[in-house]
Structure 1
């Protein structure tokens, strides 16, 4: 079981092993994120996976996220038993199967592999997101969480950027001005994506087990796991019943409910305009992540103040995004356009998508950071991130289901999104007000040491005298 050790001895500093560092592990999860969900998102960059009608793909995505929600909840208990690297590996297996379904639907018109692939992807992706969130938040030093979340996002966004650039290059001709699906010649590019996605699972096995991670500040990744899988399930139940988690459930749902953006593209943009917007809006997400990461890692403010400022930052950009979206949607409801990038009205429609992406990404970064400050135990954190991502997945399943119908003017999905966001504000504010961060940005006496050196495995040493080390491990 867990043990605590207090010692006052000093040991020589040791060179860090590069593949045990937090930076290396950030690159591992980033690489898996790039290859698996990143390239899958790239295939969706044209809106609805490049299809002419969004309804089959929305139904399949509803299945994906419904299954994913359940597996995300179980992701914490599973990863605490079999290890984060194997959970991440299993989590990457389903993506190429679903991508193959999107390809064969576009190329040959069959529907069954889309639904079969969606089922495999939903089961697999649930494990992926639960484990990836725990690694991205639990491995880095507390003072660098915002930075490492940004690295994680840059890699994950790299998939849509690379894929979007390829799709844009193949869809820039005048014949692609109108609505429709991408041609089968263009969809052949998907075969390259599928092959690359198959690399994600073995790459995940390079992830360092948490007990062997070497942070630059000498702190250890704390692990206090349960004795059995049944005990893990009971711990999950206790986490779900916590007041602070219950208060956050509305924002967990509202954060990713907006899947109308895919329909918005297919309704109002031609193929090459969808290709351009699918590529460019990723930069809005990257900019949003970078800006809020600067705030979340700003050491002159205590963690609680960063969370407070971040909360109002997120609210401001959501007000901008959704007020603007309603104005443009009402305009399009009466006179639906089909914008090409040469049309003067393209920019106003594009900014609906850009503002949605910017506001949504700021909320995701803030929310994950908030959850990460609730515990310094990665086993508990894996349960929290599983709950967070599970609830987001359930909301996406409902949202994709809602968008399998062609609601006139898009008013219904927009209204549901607006109401959910409004209902989430007060409980989120209460949860934030009552929150006491578990961790704070402290120096552990290693400012004088380079990032290449850390103390020996179980000792935190100071440059001069006393050090207290608290290490929790699990005997399995």
Structure 2
């Protein structure tokens, strides 16, 4: 039975929803524009080979770096982790431009490494903030803001590309001004991260403070990470995390392989525009107080099973047809509607998978530091899946097989998600998720003093032993 909590007055610019909006704006400027570029197929360029290799590097670096940045973010605070994460997306976009126009590869490959490192900070920090700052009743909307605005960026990128390439009724690369406009948007994301309230400044409607806990040593941060990773609920969700970003490579390849430049831009616009709608709708549903939290988890799960399953079954049928006919479709072509509908359906489903995934993990803990670690695991494992997916594209695996892998991975992930949804989601999370974190340092003026003999008080920190 859920607790009834007294509502407290909250200053709007210290609220969790305002913090979520600022995080969402960083998602708009950085991963959103990254998605806009790639959503137009091959990073907007004429050849997908180098782009697939570059994206494999991005997600490979992100997969490894996420595990290490989780401890760093806990020590420098999620706000400053987010600031770092917004600073280095533009070299990747510049590398795409130079490769497309001049055939140079080094800047794109270098930019991919830099982006992978920056993205690790951005994704770990943003996930920690959205799940660790937010009240239980607002976690769905917080994640919806992020993935909704990320999709909005993709749609705006598609609109810009459509306006600048509307006469290109052939396959090929996008115009130079498209790259310039998108790089300008990427370069301003740090302003929103800088405006983010700190954990100490956040005001929740339930009156509970946000505690930022630093482990006594960096090594003990990894003990917490290991503790969380070995929990049954986390292990059960690993296949779902792998699926969550595996699909990107194939979907972007699909758009590049079968459509003209302007049709790709239109497809990309529709793909991300419907994603904005689906993210906001699912986020609202997951926070709806009419149903209990376990009921909302079950409803969200069933919605995903139906929509995502339909998308990949239809996708497999369409891919077999396209493999036989090998079309190059413009919006004026016969048969364009089927491919555009399929691509748009994928765009509708993908943000719902992300919102549900993070919301489900947010049901497992309300602790800021633990959500940092959970987010790091999600990012690391999801990006590992993306890395292999882009390798699959880079070695030119047949599109029929590439599509079938997505359908297979989604099917394999369902039993684990079902077990978590039907057995592990409670009405409220009463305590922290991980046990045995060891010696921790609480950076909060709101931590209640303890009578323990092991507690040492300072002007800013309280050090206390967490029960083993």
TM-score bucket (shorter structure): 0.7 to 0.9
Q: Distance in 2 between matches of 1:262 and 1:189?
A: 18
> Out of 176, 182, 199, which is 1:193 matched to?
182
Tell me, in whole angstroms, the C-alpha distance in 2 between the residues paired with 1:121 and 1:334: 37
CA deviation profile, 1:208-227 (whole Å, cap 9, x unmatched): 12122012332222444422
Alignment equivalent of 1:325, drawn from 298, 307, 315: 315
Does structure 2 conserve the Cα–Cα contact (< 8 Å) formed by 1:222 and 1:376?
Answer: no
Residue by residue, what CA displacement relative to the aligned partner does 1:9-54 show, whole Å, maximum 9, x if unpaired? x9xx996444322232122212211111222222223111111121
Q: 1:337 aligns with which of 327, 344, 361?
A: 327
Alignment of 1:305 with 2:299, yes or no, is no
Which residue is 1:151 aligned to? 145
SS across alignment from 2:215: coil
Matches within 5 A, 1:93-132: 93-132=87-126
Q: CA deviation at 1:234?
A: 1.1
Partner of 1:417: 406
Looking at structure 1, the residues matched to 362 and 231 of structure 2 have their Cα atoms a distance apart, in angstroms, of 15
In the other structure, the counterpart of 1:7 is none
Measured at CA, do residues 298 and 18 of structure 1 come closer, stay the same or move farther in structure 2, by a change above 3 Å?
closer
Distance, in Å, in 2 between the alignment partners of 1:200 and 1:369 is 24
CA distance in 1, matches of 2:271, 2:252: 12
Which of 150, 173, 176 is equivalent to 1:181? 173
- What secondary structure sits across from 1:337 in the alignment? coil
2:50 corresponds in structure 1 to 56
Q: Which moved more, 1:20-29 or 1:336-345?
A: 20-29
Matched residue, 1:282: 272
Cα deviations by residue, 1:234-264 (Å, 9 ceiling, x for unpaired): 1111111111111111111012211201111
Tell me what 1:24 maps to: 18
- Contact 1:106–1:187 (Cα < 8 Å) also in 2: no
Aligned partners of 1:25 and 1:316: how far apart in 2?
33
Is residue 462 of structure 2 the alignment partner of residue 475 of structure 1? yes
Distance (Å, rounded) in 2 between the aligned partners of 1:382 and 1:438: 22
Report how far residue 108 of structure 1 moved: 1.7
Where do 1:387-402 residues align within 5 Å?
387-402=377-392
Q: For the Cα contact (< 8 Å) 1:75–1:382, is it kept in 2? A: no
Tell whether the 8 Å contact from 2:164 to 2:178 is kept in structure 1 after alignment: no
Q: Which moved more, 1:200-209 or 1:92-101?
A: 200-209
SS at the partner of 2:30? helix
Task: In structure 1, list runs of 5 or more residues that go unmatched.
Answer: 1-9, 442-456, 460-472
Output one character per residue of 1:84-121: Cα deviation in whole Å (capped at 9) or x when no partner: 11111111122011111111112222111110000100
Deviation at 1:149, TM superposition (A): 1.9
Output the TM-score relative to the length of structure 1: 0.86
* Residue 356 (str. 1) matches residue 340 (str. 2): no
Aligned with 1:33 (options 7, 27, 41): 27
* Unaligned ranges ≥5, structure 2: 1-5, 431-444, 448-459, 464-468
Contact 2:149 2:276 in 1 (8 A): no
Of structures 1 and 2, the one scoring higher in RCO (CA 8 A, sep 6+) is 1
| SS state at 1:439 partner | coil
Aligned-pair RMSD on alpha carbons?
Answer: 2.3
CA distance in 2, matches of 1:423, 1:45: 26
Pick aligned residue for 1:231 from 209, 214, 220: 220
When residues 324 and 396 of structure 1 are mapped into structure 2, their CA distance, relative to the original with a 3 A threshold, is same
Higher alpha-carbon deviation: 107-116 or 59-68: 107-116
The alpha-carbon distance between structure 1 residues 230 and 424, as it changes in their structure 2 partners (threshold 3 A), is: same
Q: What is the distance in 2 between the residues matched to 1:335 and 1:193?
A: 34
In the aligned structure 2, how far is the partner of 1:437 from the partner of 1:208?
29
CA drift of 1:359 comes to 2.0
Q: Contact 2:41/2:48 (CA < 8 Å) preserved in 1?
A: yes
Inter-CA distance 359–432: structure 2 relative to 1 (3 Å threshold): same
Write the distance in 2 (CA, Å) between the matches of 1:458 and 1:224.
12
Q: Deviations over 1:111-153 (max 9, x none)?
A: 1111000010011101110111111222222212222222222
| 1:435 aligns with one of 414, 419, 424 | 424
The separation in 2 between residues aligned to 1:474 and 1:280, in whole angstroms, is 50
Which stretch of the first structure deviates more once superposed, 345-354 or 196-205? 196-205
Instruction: Give the one of 53, 70, 92 matched to 1:76.
Output: 70
Check whether the contact 1:285–1:361 (CA below 8 A) recurs between aligned residues: yes
**CA, structure 1 residues 226+474, in 2 after alignment: closer, same or farther (shift >3 Å)?**
farther
Maintained 8 Å contact 2:135/2:206? yes
**Structure 1: distance between partners of 2:461 and 2:315:** 50
**How far apart, CA to CA, are the structure 2 residues paired with 1:244 and 1:15?**
35
